[in-house]
Amino acid sequence: MLQFDPVQLPDSSHALRDEIRQFLAANMPSGHRPNSDFLSGHNPQFSELLGTHGYICMNIPVEYGGGGRSFFDRYVVAEELLAAGAPVSAHWFSDRQFAPVLMQIGTEQQRKKYLPDMCAGKSYFSIGMSEPNSGSDLAAIRTSATKVDGGWRVNGTKLWTTYAHLNHYMIALVRTAPVSENRHHGMSQLLIDLHDDSVDIRPIKNMGGDEDFNEVVFNDTYVPDEDVIGEIGNGWNQCTAELGYERSGSERFLSTFRVYIEFLKLFTDPPNDLQAAAIGRIASNIMALRRMSLSVVGMLEAGKMPSIEAALVKELGNNFEKIMPEIARLAAPLDADKTEFNRTYRESILLSPSTTLRGGTREILRGVIARGLGLR
Ligand SMILES: Cc1cc2nc3c(=O)[nH]c(=O)nc-3n(C[C@H](O)[C@H](O)[C@H](O)COP(=O)(O)OP(=O)(O)OC[C@H]3O[C@@H](n4cnc5c(N)ncnc54)[C@H](O)[C@@H]3O)c2cc1C
């Protein structure tokens, strides 16, 4: 049975929230137009600045360059960065999932080698799961790694790899043994240097005309044994465990939050009943989703891997962030100057098809949730 225990943020988080708000007021890159989506801005200078101030990898131990703080502290900072529309894409995957993964299943050598730069906001990772003909059906991946002296030779193609053209490394799910009766066997995770000459990276334009995801081709790419993540053959379990980090955060319901802010700014007069209902409906949805998301953070803090609860947060969150701009548009005052509201609304329309695809589609998440409820 799914259970979302109530979680209160610790008192210390209020001071941290004030601190990060002040930091953002003083340090938002000049000319940056706020957008809540966590994939909206790849800005290494800003990531490094966050790293210098200790706002990246806050939950990683100090000895590896992290903040030695709790998952809750990381949550507060992430939430404020998203609400302010800060450009966080460069370090997002390192901070959200790969630094915790290295802490959990990485070797001591890997932690010492990779974590300090990740924590400093200088080292950026991509997620290497999807392939042509293998998105929802991840067990169908065909990228293979063959054992050679001292390491592995990787061949194959990854698809939709966010920011592979700008990031340093990919943690890739690959086949290290042929498909057997159990399709989830024989997969492993390798840490691959995206700057290696044998890796071809081709950006793909998204609907808005921007380049954020890529096709990545490995041509006999050599990966030393020391860059195997976790255990050979355990890649499927490792990947699915990671989803607790990947699917539960506030980025799964705040992608269109900026539209709400601009909507509220339109009200110079008190809202009428219809408008008040729209404001309340959006606020109550955000509050409920946030409560669930925080509950998952509580589970992560307790060392659990709540991938089913995380799937529920993502599924409800993505559906809400998709319809929210329309609720706002229908209730927006007619005579207000809507320049900024229209800009964020337009962006949200271009973004919205991707929210229920990236990180697992709606149908797949519903299947995971149904299994968690014992219905499948
Ligand atoms: C903006 C964006 C960024 C992304 N970034 C990354 C990244 O960094 N790294 C990465 O590895 N991947 C990334 N992806 C890929 C993403 O994970 C896949 O698009 C997703 O898993 C779906 O896979 P697919 O595109 O192959 O679609 P398919 O799996 O072919 O699905 C097509 C449709 O069929 C439905 N469907 C599929 N199987 C079933 C089923 N069994 N039952 C019911 N319905 C089903 C799906 O729900 C979907 O609606 C990104 C995608 C987007 C849009």
- Do 313 and 349 fall into the same domain? yes
Decide if 240 is inside a domain: no
- Do 308 and 347 fall into the same domain? yes
Decide if 1 is inside a domain: no
Atom of ligand 1 nearest to the CA of 363: 47
Last residue of a domain, one of 176, 199, 234: 234
Number of domains in the chain: 3
- Do 366 and 327 fall into the same domain? yes
Q: Measured on CA atoms in the order 220, 222, 227, 233, is the torsion positive or negative?
A: positive
pLDDT for the residue numbered 275: 97
- Do 288 and 309 fall into the same domain? yes
Ligand 1 is surrounded, with C-beta below 6 A, by: 126-130, 135-136, 160-162, 213, 354, 357-358, 360-364
pTM of structure: 0.95
pLDDT for the residue numbered 208: 84
pLDDT for the residue numbered 115: 98
Res. 1: pLDDT tops 80 = no
Domain span at residue 218 reads 127-234
| Centroid of chain to Cα 325 | 21
Last residue of a domain, one of 234, 268, 289: 234
Which residues pair with residue 190 across a beta bridge? 172, 228
The pLDDT tens digits for 288-335 are 999 999 999 999 989 888 989 999 999 999 999 999 999 999 999 999
Residue nearest to atom 37 of ligand 1 (CA): 136
Burial 34-61 (b: 16+ CB within 10 A, else e): bbbbbbbbbbeebbbbbbeebbbbbbbe
Q: Can you give the CATH number for the domain in which 183 is found?
A: 2.40.110.10
- What average pLDDT does the structure give for the chain? 95
pLDDT for the residue numbered 322: 94
- Do 364 and 279 fall into the same domain? yes
3-class DSSP string for 180-243? CCCCCCCEEEEEEECCCCCEEEEEEECCCCCEEEEEEEEEEEEEEHHHEECCCCEHHHHHHHHH
The pLDDT tens digits for 10-55 are 888 999 999 999 999 999 998 888 876 888 899 999 999 999 999 9
- Do 210 and 263 fall into the same domain? no
- Do 136 and 31 fall into the same domain? no
Q: Which of 358, 368, 369, when mutated, tests ligand 1's pocket best, judged by the most ligand atoms within 8 Å of its CB?
A: 358
Residue nearest to atom 45 of ligand 1 (CA): 363
The pLDDT tens digits for 243-288 are 888 999 999 999 999 999 999 999 999 999 999 999 999 999 999 9
Atom of ligand 1 nearest to the CA of 130: 11
The pLDDT tens digits for 99-156 are 999 999 999 999 999 999 999 999 999 999 999 999 999 999 999 999 999 999 999 9
- Do 263 and 351 fall into the same domain? yes
Decide if 5 is inside a domain: no
Distance CA 331, CA 284 (A): 16
Mapping DSSP to helix (H, G, I), strand (E, B) and coil, where does residue 1 land?
Answer: coil
Res. 359: pLDDT tops 90 = yes
- Do 283 and 336 fall into the same domain? yes
pLDDT for the residue numbered 294: 96
Distance CA 93, CA 361 (A): 19
Give the mean model confidence (pLDDT) for residues 160-167: 98
Q: Can you give the CATH number for the domain in which 89 is found?
A: 1.10.540.10
| Single-letter amino acid code for the residue at 102 | L
Decide if 200 is inside a domain: yes
Res. 203: pLDDT tops 90 = yes
Atom of ligand 1 nearest to the CA of 162: 8
Angle between helix 307-331 and helix 235-247 axes, rounded to 10 deg = 40
Q: 5-9, 100-104, 218-222, 241-245 — which is least confidently predicted?
A: 241-245
Give the mean model confidence (pLDDT) for residues 87-109: 97
Return the number of other C-beta atoms located less than 10 Å from residue 12's C-beta.
Answer: 13
Decide if 4 is inside a domain: no
- Do 281 and 221 fall into the same domain? no
- Do 16 and 115 fall into the same domain? yes
- Do 218 and 319 fall into the same domain? no
Q: Can you give the CATH number for the domain in which 310 is found?
A: 1.20.140.10
pLDDT for the residue numbered 37: 83
